[in-house]
Structure 1
Amino acid sequence: MILEAVMLQVKKGMEQEYEEAFRKASKIISSMKGYISHELQRCMEAEGKYLLLVWWETLEDHKVGFRQSHEYQEWKNQLHHFYDPFPTVEHFQKVDLS
């Protein structure tokens, strides 16, 4: 399992519209092969700042299965115009501490 983590900056004054659009777009990502779960967190200190966390079965499920799909184009159309600057997506793997 991998974790996709994205720090998002939404254009000023568009936060409510973004959250509504994200609720609708969530149906897209949650239908994808390899998707496990996701959550969107709103920053308490910085207006318009969000943290998106998405758990995938494999890195390929995100980078190939989702990012190269028709569904991703719809996700992009619904959400990408809210971001400034455009976010950097990072992937993480749990460290075994036992």
Structure 2
Amino acid sequence: MILELAILHVKAGKQLAFENDFITASQYIAAIDGYIRHSLKKCIEVENQYVLLVEWSSVEAHEIGFRQSPQYLKWKELLHDYYDPFPQVFHYEDLPQKI
């Protein structure tokens, strides 16, 4: 399992519209092969900051399966104008647990 993490800075005053559009956009990411689940968290200290966490079966499921899909174009159309600056996206993998 791969965890995608993106810190999202939403333009001031656009938070409610972003949250509503995110609900709509969620159907597009959830339709991709290799998608497991996602969550959006709102920062308590910084009013317009969110963190997006998405679990994928592989980096390729995100980078190729999603980002090269028609669903990504719909996601982008709904959400990308909200960000300032545009978020950096990182992928994380679990480390083996030592007992």
| Cross-structure match for 1:41 | 41
Which amino acid in the other structure matches residue 89 of structure 2?
A: V
1:97 deviates by 2.1
**2-side partners of 1:81 and 1:95: how far apart?**
35
| Cross-structure match for 1:31 | 31
**2-side partners of 1:68 and 1:28: how far apart?**
12
| Cross-structure match for 2:50 | 50
1:15 aligns with 2:3: no
SS of corresponding position for 1:8? strand
SS of corresponding position for 2:3? strand
SS of corresponding position for 1:40? strand
1:47 deviates by 1.1
**1-side partners of 2:82 and 2:9: how far apart?**
8
Task: Note the residue ranges of structure 2 that are not aligned, 5 or more in a row.
Answer: none
| Cross-structure match for 2:75 | 75
Give the TM-score normalised by the residue count of structure 2.
0.97
SS of corresponding position for 1:87? coil
Per-residue CA shift, 1:27-60, capped at 9, x if unaligned?
Answer: 1101110000000000000010000000000110
**1-side partners of 2:44 and 2:62: how far apart?**
28
Give the TM-score normalised by the residue count of structure 1.
0.98
**1-side partners of 2:46 and 2:65: how far apart?**
33
Superposition RMSD in Å: 0.5
1:70 deviates by 1.1
Percent identity of equivalent pairs: 46
Task: Count the aligned residue pairs.
Answer: 98
Could you list the runs of 4 or more consecutive aligned residues of structure 1 that deviate by over 2 angstroms after TM superposition? none
1:76 deviates by 0.2
